[in-house]
Each structure stands twice: as C-alpha cells, then as structure tokens.
Structure 1
Amino acid sequence: MASHQNSELDRLDTRILEVVTEEGRISITDLAERVGLSKTPCQLRLKKLVEEGYIEGFAAILNPSKLGLDHVAFAEVKLTHTHEEALKSFNAAVKKIQEVEECHMIAGRFDYLLKIRTRDIRRYRHVLGERISSLPFVASTSTNVAMETIKEGRGNLLNAG
C-alpha cells in the first residue's frame, strides 16, 4: 500500500492512533467502542495503519528502576570526520551497543548525542571507555548525567505539530 501523509489521516484513524498510543494492549472490541466503530471496520483500519507504517509495532514499556538501570547519561560525541563513510561506520557500530537507548545526529558543536542507560556510574565509565570511545571515527566525548527524569518516552506525536 502507498504511504500517506499525516494530512490524509481522518478523524477515526487519528483517534485509533491516540488510543493505541496510550493503551497498546487494548482489545479490538474495546478499541472499536472507544472510537465509535464496529469491530470489523476498526480492525481493518488498525491493520491499514500498521501496513502503511503509521504504527511501527507494539512493545512493553519496561520500568528501568525495577531492572536496576537508574543511571542515565547523555554523551556528546565529536567525530574526527563527518564524510559519509565515517557517518555510516559510526551509525552501524553504535547500534550494537545495548546500553545506548537513543542516538541522534546533531547540528551544532558536536556530531551525536547518545542517551545511555546503565546500572551505575562505574558501568557507565566502562561503556564509555571501552565501547563508545572506541567507535569508528570518535575524536572526543563529553558526558552529562541526568539527576532526575521528568518526562521520558515518545509522548503524543499526533499533537506535536
């Protein structure tokens, strides 16, 4: 199926996306009731939203504290080179580090911003020193440690504008 732009989502599609964003495990029966459709049309719309890429998947949201992963650090990474080969090499390698939750290419005084979650500062130092610093084309890093997380997650992308 062809991909559509956001402007082509109708009110019902948007409502389905809002509900499954908040309640990913909602049953089709309950979803249909919440959006004002019967079960079969709701199921077909949900399937279409998945096929067209509006919904990339469904996943459990884990509690990092329960897993002993309370330490969050943001590493600014500066590369030695930013030619395409360097970027591709760095991108492929950073994806393999499980402690890196997010990696963003940045326009500014450094090249990448990494969100790294570990159990403590000692583990972070190990990940930074042994894994991140040895990634291809890394020239330098700078770390910012999160003192407290106020808001985390994807938020409501439909109202982000």
Structure 2
Amino acid sequence: MGKGLDAIDRRILRALVANGRLSNAELAKEAGLSASPCWQRVRRMEEEGIISGYTALINHEALGVGETVMVEVQLEHHDAASLEAFTEAMAKIPEVLEIYLMAGDFDYFVKIAVSGTRGVEEFLREKLFRVPGLRHSKSNFSLRCVKKVAAYVPE
C-alpha cells in the first residue's frame, strides 16, 4: 500500500487523477484540508516520486491518429545491450505511446497511435522494421477503448 499514504493523501491523488488542473485551493477542498497542508502533502508526494508529473490527456481521434495498435515484439537477442537499444529506439518514435518489457511469449508490448491501416503499415515498414535485432512482431488492432484511466490509487 504505497509508501505510508493515508486516506487524505489518497483523496488528493484521486482528485488529481480526475482533474490535474485543480488549483491548490480546489484540491484542498476536495481533500478536506486547508490550502497550506494540502500543498505540503502534494509537494511531499512529488518529492517521494508518488506524483511523477502532470500532463494533458489528448484525444488522438481528434488529431487524426485515432487507431490504437498494440504490437507484440520478439527480439533476436536478449542481452542487456539489445534490450536497451530497442527501448531507446522505440522511445524516440513519436507514435509510440507506451513500451513494456514483458515476461512470456514476446519481449515487448508497444502501444502506438496511428491513422488507419496505412498508418500502421508506415509505422511497421518505416520505423519498427528498421530497428536492428527485431525477430518478429504481431499487431493487434483496438476496436474500441472500453476503459481508460490515468492511474490507479489503491485504497
């Protein structure tokens, strides 16, 4: 259960997940605190790495890249240098939203945002297939997102 968090810390985190643009005064009200103690708790959670940053959630469909594709990747080699090289190459590609090193049948799970099947083909041909050490990939197309949350705050 997360680094000594109490119920108030969790209320703060849930409020920030729901609306990261809350002012400190609004956040304090949500958490049942006055402004100063609320600000101190947020700063502490930032310093401890519990809050790792703030960002805007983007509607990819509105930007013309509404297809979400999950790509399973197998590499030729599994030494540290090969894994690091693949990770670095993927991190540089703008369409890549998330990269997970996996245990199981494939080595990486890469989530991308593209424009239709042509965008998938271009990503595969022009970007993924050019990364050295790739053995195999399998693309899975998302039909529709049925749940999407920014974070999970345990009870």
Q: Same fold (TM over 0.5)?
A: yes
Shift of 1:54: 0.8
In structure 2, give the amino acid aligned to 1:22. A
Q: What residue number does 2:153 align with?
A: 158
Q: 1:17-48: per-residue Cα shift (whole Å, max 9, x none)?
A: 11111111111111111211111111111111
Cα deviations by residue, 1:1-24 (Å, 9 ceiling, x for unpaired): xxxx71411221111111111111
Alignment partner, residue 42 of structure 1: 38
Q: Does residue 69 in structure 1 map to residue 65 in structure 2?
A: yes
For the 8 Å contact 1:29–1:39, the answer to whether it is kept is yes
Query: SS at the partner of 1:150?
Result: coil
Distance apart, 1:145 and its partner CA: 1.1
Q: How does 1:4-23 map to 2 (within 5 A)?
A: 6-23=2-19
Query: What 5-or-longer segments of structure 1 have no aligned partner?
Result: none
Q: Does 1:139 align with 2:106?
A: no
Picking from 100, 113, 116, the partner of 1:117 is 113
Q: Which consecutive unaligned segments of at least 5 residues does structure 2 have?
A: none
User: Could you tell me which amino acid in structure 2 is paired with residue 37 of structure 1?
Assistant: L
Q: Give 2:78's aligned residue.
A: 82
Distance 1:18 1:112 in 2: 30
Q: SS of the counterpart of 1:139?
A: strand
Are residues 1:33 and 2:29 paired? yes
Once the two structures are aligned, what percentage of the paired residues are identical?
33
TM-score, length basis structure 1: 0.90
CA contact (8 A) 1:93 1:136 kept: no
Distance in 2 between the 1:34 and 1:147 partners? 36
- Give 4+ residue runs of structure 1 displaced > 4 Å after superposition: none
Tell which has more relative contact order, 1 or 2 (C-alpha 8 A, sep 6+).
2
Instruction: Decide whether the 8 Å contact of 1:133 with 1:140 is kept in 2.
Output: no
Q: Distance in 2 between matches of 1:154 and 1:38?
A: 26
